[in-house]
Structures are given as structure tokens and as C-alpha cells.
Amino acid sequence: MAKHSLDKDKIKILLLEGVHQSAVDVFERAGYSNIEYHKASLGEDQLLESIKDAHFVGLRSRTQLTAQVLNHAEKLVAIGCFCIGTNQVDLSAAEKLGIPVFNAPFSNTRSVAELVLGEIIMLLRGIPQRNAQCHRGGWLKSANGSVEARGKTLGVVGYGHIGTQLGILAETLGMRVIFFDIEDKLPLGNASQVHSLNELLANADVVSLHVPETPSTKDMFAEAEFSKMRQGGFFINASRGTVVDIDALAQAIKSGHIAGAAVDVFPVEPKSNDDEFVSPLRGLDNVILTPHIGGSTAEAQENIGIEVAGKLAKYSDNGSTLSAVNFPEVSLAPHAGASRLLHIHQNRPGVLIKINQAFSEKGINIAAQYLQTTAEIGYVVMEVDSDQAQEALDELKQIEGTIRARVLF
């Protein structure tokens, strides 16, 4: 492939939150050496300073990329969320600035499902409180409140990648699986979809949440929902902390209505491993608390590193936005001897016609062209003869509604 418009060693890649070494390896193999690597998330001021001249940023769930931060990141070309969730990024602000956001939609799915499966067994056997007693020198040898998973009903809220995997695994234990989702979903195995959350709450022995953080899931579980769960039921949340009113959950557990819970995500999480974890669930023996590690396994983190770094490197190398979460998806094979230009514009009628008119008036020959749009923006990848690339770029920059235009190679 021809020379990159910007020397690769000038392209700054900022990696935060200890993303796996596999990501660094992918970038280095692709020729990118200017990598600023941080093991933890950065404080606000340090983030602003480091992101100001970064072309790519990679983060996990702690770093908040708000519109303010993005506006400050003058050179930012693309964002990689080295995880599933993308709620920590203002996706719409990024889109309007012409910045695609990539994630790893299923590299840690299995890890979360396995953790939850283990927690189901632990909760049904009353292990958390027995474990806590033993640590304090107690001996709670009793079958009281201990039951098998076989024959119990698991209620999955959000039957997506994780919810479906969990359902299949739970069936191998002999559990009956019901699920509630806002979309009609193909039930896997013997699972069955119920038509309201209330129906699920009334029928499940264990309720497990696997929805994304969206306006519709904010505080989706509060006092009313907990009170509709079965007396003595169990509750698991490994989705996002904002989905649950944590005080209401603590209250439902203290009252004995909920017999135990496993919680991996919290409305407020410590910024680093050195900060204190504060929660109304602390000190409750029948609650398994984990520090947002549902997807934190060696396998998942390595695969996520490879997947997301690969997507960023591809976007940098050839403009491919396949599987971006906030951007039109375009992928175009390179043609020998041609230069590639990228044009991101506000989605208004006639932009492509204007580009083609301008090129035709200047005698610029288009070898290939591909446009995709979202409601907000349009993204055109095109190729022209290499000796006309600069002239073509100058024309593109003058098209009304242009957000960004650049020559890639």
C-alpha cells in the first residue's frame, strides 16, 4: 500500500486503563510506534492534556469521554472502547465531530456468562454468608436456605449476547429459563420469552440483568421492581450500575425479601484500585460484591485488545468503519496506483452530487466511491489518481457541510 498521509510514527495512540498488551502488539505490528500507555484511568486535567494531541484513544469503562473532552481533542480521529459498553463515550457528540467509535461486542461475553452462572450456584447454596461466617470463625453447617439450581427458574432481563449465553449455560444445570427483552428474540434452547417485566419478576427464582445503559434502563430496578420479585428470590447485576437503584436493593436485602445478590457494577465506581469502594451493600454477608470484573479474564482481555486495536488500525490504514457503533459503515478494497480520500459531512441532500460536480469540473477522475449515511452524517470513501489527490482534497474541503476531509494514502 502507498505511503500513509501522516507518517505512522507521528500518529499518537493514547491507551488508558491498562488495556491488554495484545493491543500494543497489534499497533506495533501495523507500524504504529507512538503509543502513550497508562495502566489506570487519568484524572480530568491529565486526560485533557494527554488527549489534546492524540489521534486515537483506547479506554475501558472508567474514562468518560464527554462532549467537552471530545471538543478539546482537536486531532482525535477515532475512539476504541476496549470493552462491550460504550456508554462512557458521548456517541452522538463523537459522530457529529466525525469520530467513529469502535468496541468489542462479544469478546468478553462468555466471561460474564460464566461468572454469573457461578454466582447463581453460590447464591442458591447460601455460600456468601457461610463463607463470611467461616472467615469470622463461625461454622454455619446447615441445609437451611440451600437449594439446587436444577429445576429453578432463571429470569434474564436483556436477552442479547450475554443473556443468551447465560441462558444456554443455565439450562445445562437443569434450570428453566425465561427472559424479558424489549425486542422479540429467538429463544435459544428451551428458553421462553415473557411479555412483561412483571411476569418475569413474579416467576423467577433468580433475576439477572443484562441490559445496556440507556435512558430506558436507568433505574429500571427500584423499590417497585424488587417488591414484585418472589419472596426469597435472588438478584444479579453484571450490566451497568445505573440500571439499579442501589439503595432500594440494599433495603430489599436488609428486609429479607431478597435472599441474596451478586453485584459487579455500581452507580459510582472507584476511579482506581487505590480509591475506596463506597456502597450501601458493603457489610451484607449474603451479597457477593465484585469490582466490575465480569469481563476481566485473560482470554477476554487479550481478545478485546486484538479486536479493538485491529479495528482502529484498519480505520487508520484504509478508512474502514465496519462495526463502528456511531458511524456509517464503509469498507472499500484499495485499488493499485490510486489515492484514497475520506470525506465526512453533515447529512444533507446533494452532497455527493456536489462532490462529483466539483471533481468533474476539475477533471478529477474518480476510480472508486462509496457513500453511507446515518441520520446525522455521511461518510464517503473515494479513490482518485494519485497525482490529483491534493487537488481533490482542496475541492472536498470546500463542499458545504464538510466536517472532515483528508487524504489517507
Ligand X SMILES: O=C(O)CC[C@@H](O)C(=O)O
Q: Which stretch binds ligand X (CB under 6 A): 77-85, 137-145, 278-286, 377-385?
A: 77-85
**Residue number of the CB atom closest to ligand NAD:** 160
C-alpha 302/C-alpha 251 separation (Å) is 39
Binding partner at 182 among ligand NAD, ligand X, none, C-beta below 5 to 8 Å by kind: ligand NAD
Strand order across the 101-102 sheet: 35-37, 13-15, 56-59, 78-81, 101-102
Q: Which is nearer to ligand X, 304 or 399 (CB)?
A: 304
C-alpha 261/C-alpha 123 separation (Å) is 7
Query: Min. distance of Cβ 100 from ligand X in angstroms?
Result: 18
163 sits near ligand X (criterion: CB under 6 A): no
- Measured torsion, CA atoms of residues 350, 352, 353, 354, in degrees rounded to the nearest 10: 90
Q: Which stretch binds ligand NAD (CB under 6 A): 66-74, 174-182, 249-257, 342-350?
A: 174-182
Per-residue binding letters, 274-313, with ligand X (x by CB under 6 A): ---------------------x------------------
Query: Min. distance of Cβ 246 from ligand NAD in angstroms?
Result: 15
C-alpha 288/C-alpha 119 separation (Å) is 8
DSSP summary character for residue 209: E
Q: What type of residue is 385? A: D
Instruction: Give residue for cell 498521509.
Output: 5
The question of whether 292 is a catalytic residue gets the answer: yes
C-alpha 149/C-alpha 190 separation (Å) is 16
Binding partner at 60 among ligand NAD, ligand X, none, C-beta below 5 to 8 Å by kind: ligand X
- Sign of the C-alpha dihedral, residues 320, 326, 327, 328? positive
Query: Min. distance of Cβ 389 from ligand NAD in angstroms?
Result: 40
Which residues lie below 8 Å from residue 44, measured CB to CB, with a gap of 6+? none
85 sits near ligand X (criterion: CB under 6 A): yes
84 sits near ligand X (criterion: CB under 6 A): yes
Pairing of strands 377-385, 366-373: antiparallel
- Three-state secondary structure string covering 82-104: CCCCCCCECHHHHHHCCCCEECC
Give, as ranges, the residues between 214 and 233 that touch ligand NAD (CB under 6 A): 214, 216-217
Give, as ranges, the residues between 184 and 213 that touch ligand NAD (CB under 6 A): 210-213
Binding partner at 113 among ligand X, ligand NAD, none, C-beta below 5 to 8 Å by kind: none
The catalytic residues are: 240, 269, 292
What residues make contact with ligand NAD under the rule CB under 6 A?
Answer: 84-85, 108-109, 112, 157-163, 180-183, 210-214, 216-217, 238-240, 264-265, 292, 294-295
